[in-house]
Chain A
C-alpha cells in the first residue's frame, strides 16, 4: 500500500469514448502528478498540480484534460484518444514539487481500440 490509489486498474476504450482516470492520495502531500509510461520509453511527465493549481503541462494534447478538485484527488479526463495513447498512466504525489521522492500509484493500463 503506497498511499496513492488509482482506479480503474485496467481500461479499454474506443476512440470516440469519454472516460476518466481517478487518483487519490491520503499522504497529506501538496503536489500531484500524471505520468505516462509507454513501452521502452522513459516515464513522461504530463501534468503537475501544486496546492490544487496546475503548474505544469508538458505539451500534452488537449484530448487529455486533468482536474484537481482538492489536494487529495486528481483526475485525468480522456476524450477521442488515439491507439498510440495506449500506455500505463501513473499518478504520483509528493510533499513538495522538488527535491522529494514521489509516491506512485499502481497505474491504469489503458488500451485504446
Chain B
C-alpha cells in the first residue's frame, strides 16, 4: 500500500507562471513532510519541508502548503524558471514509531520557455 502518492507523473508549465505539484498521503501518523528535487544523473536534493504544526512554509520562490484534514500537501513554485525542470519527490515521516522517509513516485516538471 502506497502511503505517499503523487498522482501526476508529469506537469508542463510556461516560464514565469506558477507550478503546483500535489501530494497525498494516507498515514495520519505522518507529521513532517519534505520535497526533494532530482535532476537527471543526480541524487535527490532537499528543497523545502513543513511540520504538521504549520500549514504553510515559504522559502523564496517555493511555498509548501499542508492540509492535514485532507491529508494533502502541495508545492508552489512562482515564478517558474527553466532551471526548475526536474523530477519532484514528496516525502513524509513520523516521529512516533521512528518512521523513516516514505517517498512518492515523483512528478516530472517541465518549464517551457
Contact = CB atoms under 8 A, between A and B. Distances in A.
A104 B93 contact: no
Interface residues of A, number: 24
Given A48-B100, A97-B98, A106-B42, A42 B34 contact: no
A89 B32 CA distance: 24
A103 B94 contact: no
Contacts of B102: 42, 45
Interface residues of B, number: 26
A90 B38 CA distance: 12
Contacts of A9: 41
Interface string B91-108: 001110011111111100
Given A2-B45, A101-B46, A42 B104 contact: yes
Interface string B42-66: 1111100100000000000000000
A74 interface: no
Interface string A65-101: 0000000000000000000000000101000011101
Nearest to B3: A42
B109 interface: no
A102 B4 CA distance: 17
Interface of A: 2, 4, 6, 9, 33, 40-43, 45, 48, 56, 90, 92, 97-99, 101-107
Interface of B: 2, 4, 9, 32, 34, 36, 41-46, 49, 89, 93-95, 98-106
